[in-house]
Structure 1
Amino acid sequence: MAGQDVFDLARHVAASAAMARLPRAGGKRFEGVFRHGSLQVEIFAPRGRDTQRPHDRDEVYVVVRGAGSFVNGTQRFAFRAGDVLFAAAGEIHWFEDFSEDFFTWVLFYGPEGGEKGAPPPGGAGPKAP
């Protein structure tokens, strides 16, 4: 990735431009596209099989295109474009049975080891109206 100052100045990163930076065949299937403070944004587009291992920071996925299954520990979630997925630092997770056009933003943030805050009162997030 280029110097951090270049990414700190960015205010817009198009998904199409980020995808164009990935190799067409072979090679890595992720690329860093933005960095600011503890936030690092990558584009990720596995092909065939997702071989990632647990990361040392918390991460959020925002699915841009495609569908499939997200495995996080013993949980399995169907996902599609527009969905948000989370993996805490150190959690075993991967994508499987994903469509050929699948790609996602990956947002790494916080300290190594992840944020250790307590879960919010009353559950895992906002309740639907």
Structure 2
Amino acid sequence: MSDVPHWNPKQALDRLREDGREFSTLFRHGSLEVEFYKPDKVDRQQPHSRDELYVIASGSARFVLLGRECLVQSGDVLFVPAGAEHRFHNFGDDFATWVFFYGPDGGEGA
């Protein structure tokens, strides 16, 4: 086993099952917080206080950010500024994403 901070989607999904939640925090360092998120049928998240990046781990979905929409799929990267309304929809059971929160409350552009 390596001491290097390292996760793969299977490990992250196992952690979600252990936690019994749709998201799990895997790592924190400074302002960086790494989570894994797998919504169950409906994305109920609310705007967050910090900037975030999503890296789609598996599946596909429609993503809405401030009224603009796009198709996302495995490997895509999304930026969401702090406080912005956003949501995934039309995703299947295989959809999951890495989430990276960073910076101060209010976002780096505040």
TM-score, length basis structure 2: 0.91
Q: Percent identity between the aligned chains?
A: 46
**How many residues of Structure 1 are paired with residues of Structure 2 in the alignment?**
107
Instruction: Tell me how far apart the structure 2 counterparts of residues 31 and 69 of structure 1 sit (CA, whole Å).
Output: 22
The code of the aligned residue for 1:35 comes to R
The code of the aligned residue for 1:76 comes to E
Larger radius of gyration: 1
More strand by share: 2
Q: Does 1:75 align with 2:68?
A: yes
SS of residue paired to 1:107: strand
Q: Does 1:11 align with 2:13?
A: no
Q: What is the root-mean-square deviation in Å for CA atoms of aligned residues?
A: 1.5
Unaligned residue ranges in structure 2 (runs of 5+): none
TM-score, length basis structure 1: 0.78
Q: Which residue of 2 aligns with 1:108?
A: 101
1:15: how far off? 1.9
Q: Which residue of 2 aligns with 1:93?
A: 86
Unaligned residue ranges in structure 1 (runs of 5+): 1-8, 118-129
- Runs of 4+ off more than 3 Å: none
Larger RCO (CA within 8 A; separation ≥ 6)? 2
- The answer (yes or no) to whether the contact 1:56–1:89 under 8 Å persists in 2 is yes
